[in-house]
């Protein structure tokens, strides 16, 4: 049975947003302290089994609470793996699928992801493959998954050659979020998970930047009302560019803001420090600071706009220097292979970037929110950023500095 949108799903104790991505749509229900409401909503799907994909860490923290809420009426298969990116592999996927089938999963079963983006991606791909498609429900437990990965149809795992090389597009039946589950994230994880959200504000929805900045600097970030506001804002910002772009290859490309240099920094830092390297969100935040300086040098963004970038990133608690060993030469060499190659005709000494003409307004080549940027411009922006690093750090609120 193919997964179909269950737009009728709702719960009186949860806020509801309708997510539309191209032709697909699904409900996103969210609230605080609502595992019971999540379980009640899951039971309305009349599944013959819930196949829960999670990791050992999340299960240890919140697994029993979920099982208690689900009760004993419907059989539950728990598929657990070690936490972390290393589990997004074909062998883990195959093991999970065989385990679910061995337990008696059928076309009427519902695959439930319970965790961050890693269990989410594994569960998404698994749901799309089991019987050529069974229903998928996400219960995200990280800010990255709740505010970013579940708002995309992309479901992918890693190959031995590279990240997210094996995947599909698949629509969940619903996303059900209890922001109380984020309470066990460390302050650093909580903040760095918000980098992509901050990127979406700068590139898509600048009218909410001041409210975001206020929550990051003065409010209690972990308070349910802050998290619910952040969730709602993420849904509306990302939805604005994906609603007509299922595959994120047109307007959705603006989500790549900060990614050209950001990906290069992430890759180079992980090569030298493995898992101790900067997180994806932190790398993208640095990438935005470089992109902002390139735009400013072109006369598009103002100095004040660059300062808004700096303040936002500083208040996310992200390090404001590029890791030692990740040199400008290596960054430029790496962006030659950036995954946006092919969208634009480019000279040999340039790469495709998302650049902002104004906050919330990407520069375009034809219909695409991409422009060609010369490597010398990248070098100049890296130099300008290097010179400003210490000053940016001083903008960070005391509790966010590592
Ligand atoms: N599909 C997409 O468009 C998309 C978008 C963004 C990210 N992603 C993918 O998502 C993954 C990153 O997501 P992630 O950062 O959530 O990774 P993750 O699932 O590995 O979670 C990060 C860590 O947080 C822990 N954790 C999860 N929930 C917790 C909680 N409530 N309390 C305490 N610890 C908790 C996990 O055990 C893990 O150690 C990457 O694989 C990335 O490719 C996909």
How close is the Cα of 150 to the center of ligand 1, in Å?
11
Categorize the per-residue pLDDT at 56 as very low, low, confident or very high, splitting at 50, 70 and 90.
very high
* Average pLDDT, integer, range 356-365: 97
Residue 144 CA, closest ligand 1 atom number: 16
What residues flank ligand 1, with Cβ below 6 Å?
55, 57-58, 61, 83-85, 88, 115-119, 121, 141-142, 144-145, 148-149, 152, 154, 164, 181-182, 184-185
pLDDT for 112 equals: 98
Give all strands (DSSP E) within 150-239, no chain letters.
154-157, 166-169, 174-178
pLDDT band, very low/low/confident/very high, at 402 (cuts 50, 70, 90): very low
Which of 122, 145, 151 gets mutated to test ligand 1 (max ligand atoms within 8 A of its CB)?
A: 145
**φ, ψ of residue 223 in degrees (nearest 5):** -70, 140
DSSP letters spanning 39-73? HHHHHTT--S-EEEEEEHHHIIIIIHHHHHHH-SS
Q: Can you list the alpha helix ranges (DSSP code H) found in 218-279?
A: 224-242, 259-273
Q: How far is the CA of 201 from the centre of ligand 1 (A)?
A: 21
Average pLDDT, the chain: 92
82-88: average pLDDT: 90
pLDDT band at 285 (very low <50, low <70, confident <90, very high): very high
Domain limits, the chain? 15-185, 215-400
Looking at the CA of residue 279, tell me the nearest atom of ligand 1: 15
Query: Ligand 1, closest atom to CA 140?
Result: 28
Q: Which among 246, 247, 264 has a CA at the least distance from the CA of 20?
A: 246
Ligand 1 centroid–CA 42 distance in Å is 22
* 131/76 Cα distance (integer angstroms): 18
Share above pLDDT 70 across residues of the chain, in percent, rounded to a whole number: 96
Among 56, 58, 183, name the best residue to mutate to test ligand 1's pocket (greatest count of ligand atoms within 8 A of Cβ): 58
Exposure string over 93-104, b if 16+ CB within 10 A, otherwise e = beebbeebeeee
Å from CA of 39 to ligand 1 middle: 22
pLDDT of residue 2 exceeding 70, the answer is no
Answer whether residue 401 shows pLDDT above 80: no
Residue located nearest, by CA, to atom 10 of ligand 1: 117
Mutate to test the pocket of ligand 1, among 128, 138, 149 (most ligand atoms within 8 A of CB): 149
Q: In ligand 1, which atom is closest to the CA atom of 184?
A: 32
The residues carrying an active-site annotation are: 154, 256
Q: What is the pLDDT of residues 208-249, one digit of tens each?
A: 999 999 999 887 888 999 999 999 999 999 999 998 888 888
Determine the residue of 117, 127, 280 to mutate for testing ligand 1's pocket, defined as the one with the most ligand atoms within 8 A of the Cβ atom: 117
Which pairs count as long-range contacts for 81-85, CB under 8 Å and 24+ apart, including other chains?
81/55, 81/56, 81/119, 81/122, 82/55, 82/56, 83/55, 83/56, 83/57, 83/58, 83/118, 84/55, 84/118, 84/275, 85/118, 85/158, 85/163
Q: Band of the pLDDT at 321, cuts 50, 70, 90?
A: confident
Tens digits of residue pLDDT in 10-24: 899 999 999 999 999
**145 C-alpha to center of ligand 1: Å?**
6
Q: Give 220 Cα–ligand 1 centroid separation in angstroms.
A: 22
Fold of 215-400: Dehydroquinate synthase-like, alpha domain (1.20.1090)
Do the beta carbons of residue 27 and residue 19 sit within 8 Å? yes
Instruction: Indicate whether 389 pLDDT > 90.
Output: no
pLDDT of 166 above 60: yes
* pLDDT above 60: residue 322: yes
Distance CA 175, CA 193 (A): 18
Nearest CA, atom 6, ligand 1: 149
Taking 80 as the threshold, does the pLDDT of residue 390 lie above it?
no
Under CATH, which number does the domain 15-185 receive? 3.40.50.1970
Rounded to an integer, the average pLDDT of 75-86 is 94
In the reported structure, the alpha carbon of residue 317 is separated from the centroid of ligand 1 by a whole-number distance in angstroms of 18
């Amino acid at each position: 049975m193919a997964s179909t949108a269950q737009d009728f799903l709702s719960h009186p104790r949860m806020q509801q947003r309708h997510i539309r991505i191209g032709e697909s749509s699904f409900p996103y229900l969210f609230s605080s302290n609502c595992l019971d409401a999540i379980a009640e909503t899951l039971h309305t799907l009349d599944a013959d089994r819930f196949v829960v994909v999670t990791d050992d860490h999340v299960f240890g923290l919140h697994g029993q609470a979920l099982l208690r809420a689900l009760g004993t009426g419907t059989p539950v298969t728990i598929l657990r793996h070690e936490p972390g990116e290393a589990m997004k592999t074909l062998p883990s996927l195959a093991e999970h699928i065989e385990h679910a089938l061995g337990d008696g999963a059928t076309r009427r079963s519902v695959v439930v992801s319970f965790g961050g983006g890693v269990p989410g991606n594994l569960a998404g791909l698994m749901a799309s493959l089991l019987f050529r498609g069974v229903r998928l429900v996400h219960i995200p437990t990280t800010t990255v998954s709740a505010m970013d990965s579940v708002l995309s149809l992309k479901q992918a795992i890693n190959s031995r050659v590279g990240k997210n090389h094996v995947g599909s597009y698949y629509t969940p039946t619903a996303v059900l979020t209890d922001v109380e589950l984020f309470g066990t994230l460390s302050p650093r994880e909580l903040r760095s998970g918000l980098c992509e959200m901050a990127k979406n504000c700068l590139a898509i929805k600048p009218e909410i930047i001041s409210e975001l900045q206020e929550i990051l600097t003065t409010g209690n970030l972990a308070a349910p009302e802050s998290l619910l506001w952040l969730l709602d804002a993420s849904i509306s910002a990302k939805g604005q560019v994906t609603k007509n772009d299922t595959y994120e290859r047109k307007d959705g490309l603006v989500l790549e803001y900060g990614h050209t240099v950001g990906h290069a920094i992430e890759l180079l830092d992980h090569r030298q420090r493995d898992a101790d390297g900067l997180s994806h969100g932190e790398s993208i935040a640095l990438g935005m600071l470089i992109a902002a300086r390139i735009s400013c040098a072109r006369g598009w963004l103002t100095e004040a706009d660059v300062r808004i970038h700096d303040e936002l990133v500083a208040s996310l608690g992200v390090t404001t220097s590029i890791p030692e060993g990740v040199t400008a030469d290596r960054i430029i060499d790496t962006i030659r292979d950036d995954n946006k190659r092919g969208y634009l005709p480019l000279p040999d000494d340039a790469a495709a970037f998302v650049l902002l003409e104004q906050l919330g307004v990407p520069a375009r080549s034809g219909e695409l929110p991409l422009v060609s940027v010369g490597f010398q411009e990248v070098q100049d922006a890296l130099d300008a950023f290097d010179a400003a690093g210490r000053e940016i750090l001083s903008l960070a609120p005391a509790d966010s500095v590592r």
